[in-house]
Amino acid sequence: MNFVRVSTDAWGQQVLEGISWDLLPVAVALGAIVIIGHAIYRAIRKSR
């Protein structure tokens, strides 16, 4: 997985294009992990 998008310009030099959009599912997954983690913690606390 790449963290950034890079292209090659007319002179053969590498140019930074922006963040890699492969990271979009990672951002969603991070949010989901926090939500699911907290939901489990909340359920355990409630059951005690």
Partner 1 sequence: MTDAANTSNADRVLRHAGVDRAFHWLTAATVLTLLATGLLPVMGVKFSWVTIHWIAGVVLTAAVLFHLVRATFWQKLKCMWIGMRDLRDAIRHALPGKYSLAQKLMHHAMTLVILTAVATGLCMLAKVDTPWWKRNPYFFAADTWGIIYVLHGLAALTAVTLIMIHVYFALLPEKRLYLRAMWRGWITRAELAANHDPNRWQGQRDLRR
Residues 6+ apart with CB under 8 A from 3: 19, 20, 23
For 16, list phi and psi in degrees, rounded to 5.
-70, 125
Count interface residues toward partner 1 (CB under 8 A).
20
Backbone φ and ψ for 41, nearest 5 degrees, come out as -60, -40
Supply the minimum distance, in Å, between the C-beta of residue 32 and partner 1.
7
Chain residues 7-46 in contact with partner 1, contact rule CB under 8 A:
9, 15-19, 21, 23-24, 26-28, 30-32, 34-35, 38, 42
The residues binding partner 1 (CB under 8 A) are 4, 9, 15-19, 21, 23-24, 26-28, 30-32, 34-35, 38, 42
